[in-house]
Amino acid sequence: MSKCLKFVLKTKCDIKNDNENLLKDIKKYANEIDAIFFETSAKDNINIDALYQSICFNVEKLKLQDDEAQIRINRIENQSKYNSSNCWC
């Protein structure tokens, strides 16, 4: 099963924005699509490290989940092999 991580970024957050609802709407959207949200500024170096750390951390987490899922699949497959022949040989 292929999985993907989703990130929503409000970039250039150093720039003041008068639209008070904008941030709320972006966060709501991120939440709706199950994405991780960051406000970043390349210019002022805000949350750039945190963003990359989050990517690495969450990729590792996904890989671990995949490994655990594979172990469960192997267990089920081995179990059905045993059931069909009633023998391991």
Ligand X SMILES: Nc1nc2c(ncn2[C@@H]2O[C@H](COP(=O)(O)OP(=O)(O)O)[C@@H](O)[C@H]2O)c(=O)[nH]1
Residue (30 or 40) nearer to ligand X, CB: 40
Residue (41 or 54) nearer to ligand X, CB: 41
| Spatial distance between the Cα atoms of 12 and 77, rounded to a whole number of angstroms | 50
Residue (14 or 68) nearer to ligand X, CB: 14
32-65 in b/e burial notation, b at 16+ Cβ within 10 A?
A: eeeeebbbbeeeeebbeeebeeeeeeeeeeeeee
Closest residue to bound ligand X by CB: 43
Residues that bind ligand X in the complex, under the rule CB under 6 A: 11-12, 14-15, 41-43
Residue (15 or 89) nearer to ligand X, CB: 15
- Taking the complex as a whole, how short is the minimal distance between the CB of residue 11 and ligand X, in angstroms? 5
- Taking the complex as a whole, how short is the minimal distance between the CB of residue 25 and ligand X, in angstroms? 19
At residue 39, φ and ψ (nearest 5 deg) are -100, 125
- Taking the complex as a whole, how short is the minimal distance between the CB of residue 59 and ligand X, in angstroms? 22
Q: What is the DSSP string of 41-64?
A: BTTTTBSHHHHHHHHHHHHHHHHH
